[in-house]
Amino acid sequence: MLAKEVGPLGIKVTIIEPGGFRTDFAGSSQTILADNPAYASTVGAVARFQREYDGAQPGDPKKAAAAVLNIARLDEPPMRLLLGRDAVRAAAEAERTRAEADRKWRSLSESTDFIDDAGQTSNPASPSSSTGGRADLKSRTWLITGASSGLGYALAEFVLQRGDRVVLAARSMNSMSGLAARYPDRALAIGLDVTQPPQRIAAVERAEAQFGGIDVLVNNAGIDFLGAVEEQREEDYRAQFEVKQEERDYRAIFEVNFFGAVSMLRLVLPGMRARKQGTIVNVSSMDGIASLPVNGFYSSSKFALEGLTESLWQEIEPIGLRAFLVEPGSFRTGLADRTKFSGAPIEAYAATSGAFRKVMATMTPEMFPGDPVRAAEAIYEVVASDRPRHWVILGSDAYRLIGAKLDKLRAEYDAGREMAFRTDYPGSAKAIL
């Protein structure tokens, strides 16, 4: 995103992605917490590897420095540069897995639009298809944050219609109270600001007390400010919450979109582990894969959520739990109406941030193809299915944008292979990753 904003100004941006290098990062700069027995086969194994592998990494910091210097001299440097053979292999495997999943589920991704390519209204998923091709009679308890409007409200309503139990949580109670009143035995509406620790704890405790446990957590709460990275005001992205000292410097967007989600899932995981069942649904965005100008802070919060969730499912799947990401495109959730620009325009960004400001002033609902009701059906289908998913793209625009990003990554990945391998120590042992 930053590269798109500053590129027209003649400023180049490159993301360096190193593999294992002998930098002492695993020593003085890294803290490995005590092992939790529940995660011995995943987190514990990685911790042991970190201790044993330190000092044997294949990457040579001096060669990496030379590679970075070479890149800095180029008129057209790459957007992304892998360093090290292990980084090349890991990126290739991640890209292959992601691309295969996207192709396999393309029809579901595009089925959530209001209108299909032929201009005809798409048919919502039928009851037989809403469970991934099998009957699913299991009743679940869902905790959905950001449930007062948009996708969160649509999902809560759809889940209640299917007979499940739902805890609707958001800062505004108005719309949630009306929906909960229609299902008094299976719905509970509670006020929740995910940035406030006491409210997070109370929400989980009330959900567990009312329904005995939480089977599905949907981290849907989110906020956004628009503007070039340089334009945005500090008070809009820096948190003003009076909480623990180490939290005071968290940015406001991250406080809701990332840290709020992290805190909620950490609160529900002990109960899920005890019952040996549970699903975490983290609502990301197409911006969490393919960033756009004016949305840098929002995109980066979603990038962070993507990385955390990818680690999470590798940690909890061996103990019988699931986690996946939802990556919606442009849906008619009202978020665009609630999103504000931050800071005064800077003339230098007229071609990027300035152009988007003008577009925002003329946006209409018809410019957003995604249908929240169809998205709710799709999410329910993935949760109910016995075929695990990790990345769930919703919307034809998201599918196209993410596909274009993957193509660009592949092109730069292929072009950078020689430099990546060149930064390893000569004759180094095969990388463990």
Residues assigned a catalytic role = 284, 298, 302
Nearest partner of 244 among 235, 255, 234, 233, judged by Cα: 255
Q: Which of 384, 371, 367, 270 is nearest to 324 (CA)?
A: 384
Beta strand residue intervals within 297-361, DSSP E: 322-328, 340-341
Place of tokens 């993301």: 15
DSSP code per residue over 373-431: HHHHHHHHHHHH-SS--SEEEESHHHHHHHHHHHHHHHHHHHHTHHHHHHTBPTTPPPP
Q: Return d(Cα 317, Cα 314) in angstroms, integer.
A: 6
Given the structure tokens 């091709």, which residue do they identify? 133
323 token code pair? 């986690």
The CA distance from 30 to 217, in Å, is: 30
Cα–Cα dist 320/379, whole Å: 20
Name, in order, each residue with C-beta under 8 angstroms of 72's C-beta and a sequence gap of 6 or more. none
